Amino acid sequence: MGRWNVADVMTIGAISVQEDTPFKEIVDLLEAHEINAVPVVDGFDRVVGVVSSADLVPKIEFAGDDDHLRLFENRHTRQARGKAHATAAGELMNAPAVTVMSTTSVVAAARIMETDELKRLPVVDDMGRLIGMVTRRDLLKVFLRTDDDIRREIVAEALDGLVGVEQSQVRVEVDDGVVTLLGEVERGSLVPALIRQIERVDGVVDVVSHLSAEADDTGEQPKGYRAPVMF
């Protein structure tokens, strides 16, 4: 199936700063462009770090505070205290930067953001040079796909790609991204496999199965399985 990549949802081009960009200028850029972070690049436009608004706040939090190490002070607080004295991007940035390429799938990008607790990622080329940005909000664009587009992909690729499932056996309905499956398949074990296949289609919100099976070859009731009704 044709999964969406970062290239399909990213913003091309990005506001960036260099390591010697002053603190005040970074604040001005964030405010002027209504963004929360900027990549830090070197002289070849390669991303070396990221400065976010969270890296700037310690300047307020620890204003006028003394520099003595507090007992039981954790690493995060020590780092924040250090950034309170920073005057340029190179001292403020988080490095190395976590980045993705335009060919990275939106699924992989979402997992990276979740794992690293990030809201945005710089997008780089194969030389590490900045070409754009992708945010969590951008990733949600996959859910703007029309129901017709989603249905076409399911019928053309998801159903066709599963051995043992014939398109004529399954009726697919899509409403606001929710996929409903109706019909009958040969074996009960095909039902959960089909559901997983459809859940991977970009833009699918949920899959509701009303499928029945001619035979239960699992010995249990799989997700979405409904035994044939006997009259």
Amino acid 1: pLDDT: 55
* Lowest-pLDDT range of 85-99, 141-155, 211-225: 211-225
pLDDT digits (tens, 9 = 90+) for 7-31: 999 999 999 999 999 999 999 999 9
Nearest CA-CA partner of 130 in 179, 97, 93, 175: 97
* Span 88-112, average pLDDT: 96
* Span 154-168, average pLDDT: 83
Amino acid 80: pLDDT: 73
* Span 49-53, average pLDDT: 96
Residue 219 pLDDT class (50, 70, 90 cuts):
low
pLDDT of 230 higher than 70:
no
CA torsion sign, 74 to 79 to 83 to 86? positive
- Domains of the chain, each with CATH number or no CATH: 6-140 (3.10.580.10), 145-215 (3.30.70.1350)
Residue 220 pLDDT class (50, 70, 90 cuts):
low
